[in-house]
Amino acid sequence: MTRYFETRNITVKYDRVLAVKSVSIGMDEGETISLIGSNGAGKTSTLRAITGLTPISSGEIWFNGDRIDRLATDAIVERGVTMVPEGRRVFPLMTVRDNLLMGAFLRRDKSKIAASIDRVVTLFPRLKERFHQAAGTMSGGEQQMMVIGRGMMADPKLLIMDEPSLGVAPKFVQEIARAIVDINRQGVSVILVEQNSRMALRVSRHAYVMSTGKVVVNDKSSRLLLDDRVQKAYLGEISEARA
């Protein structure tokens, strides 16, 4: 039976280098799952494959009953899959309002777009305070909130986040974690890639540990929180023999 979202033994290559090796992950509708592991484990490459930014060499990707790995990125977005990329890519000279509206570029429903704006500023009250401020003048944490909000402006069914806490001050990490939980409670399924493994496991239901392009452990997040292999995965020391 096809799950709401799943990758089936996908492989991703860059030239002759295998970045992702037969990775299978899945989730039910309304879940939050996380991918954790060290740098170079294949997490971002997996996300790029899901969103069509990098073609897969083999395997399949399914979402909401449809196979999507042969679709262009814009067609995947139209089906309700939105990615918040790593690195806080903002339009620094544009206001917060205009940055958010860039996330709704495929939508034509003005009243629903306005409702999405209200949804975002309720999720992140700081953005309401900075609504007419140039994005480039805000702190890194505020910019990250805005980038997540811009992802929500696409009205996603599945929101994919790549390292949302990277380079963010601790006080903002807590707010971002809370927002991820709130987004999921609103009915949006979430895939979270994070090196902050403790935060990722606390906000997700199920987690996949990746190492050298493979999934080496997967289990309920609550169990992995108590598993010493998680720390070893973060340091890149997990062994497939123990998994």
State the CATH number of the domain containing residue 218: 3.40.50.300
In the chain, the percentage of residues whose pLDDT exceeds 90 is 72
Residue 37 within a domain: yes
Residue 146 within a domain: no
Residue 48 within a domain: yes
Number of domains in the chain: 1
pLDDT tier, 231 (very low <50, low <70, confident <90, very high otherwise): low
Residues in the chain: 243
In eight-state DSSP terms, residue 95 is B
Count CB-CB contacts under 10 A for residue 155. Answer: 18
Count CB-CB contacts under 10 A for residue 110. Answer: 9
Residue 182 within a domain: no
- pLDDT tens-digit series, residues 62-87: 999 999 999 999 999 999 999 998 87
In the predicted structure, residue 241 carries a pLDDT above the cut 70: no
Residue 153 within a domain: no
**Token code pair at residue 63:** 């979402």
In the predicted structure, residue 88 carries a pLDDT above the cut 90: no
pTM recorded for the entire structure: 0.90
Q: In 3D, which of 233, 229, 202, 207 has the Cα closest to residue 220? A: 207
- pLDDT tens-digit series, residues 15-71: 888 999 999 999 999 999 999 988 888 999 999 999 999 999 999 999 999 999 999
Q: Tell me the C-alpha distance between 127 and 201, whole Å.
A: 27
Residue 217 within a domain: yes
**Token code pair at residue 144:** 């990250």
Q: What is the DSSP code string of 123-192?
A: H-HHHHHTTTSBGGGS-HHHHHHHHHHHHHTT--SEEEEE-TTTT--HHHHHHHHHHHHHHHHTT-EEEE
pLDDT of residue 132: 95
In the predicted structure, residue 236 carries a pLDDT above the cut 80: no
In the predicted structure, residue 131 carries a pLDDT above the cut 60: yes
In the chain, the percentage of residues whose pLDDT exceeds 70 is 93
Residue 148 within a domain: no
pLDDT tier, 238 (very low <50, low <70, confident <90, very high otherwise): very low
In the predicted structure, residue 150 carries a pLDDT above the cut 50: yes
Q: Tell me the C-alpha distance between 64 and 79, whole Å.
A: 9
Residue 106 within a domain: no
- Domain range for 39 is 1-79+204-243
- pLDDT tens-digit series, residues 171-206: 889 999 999 999 999 999 999 998 888 899 999 999
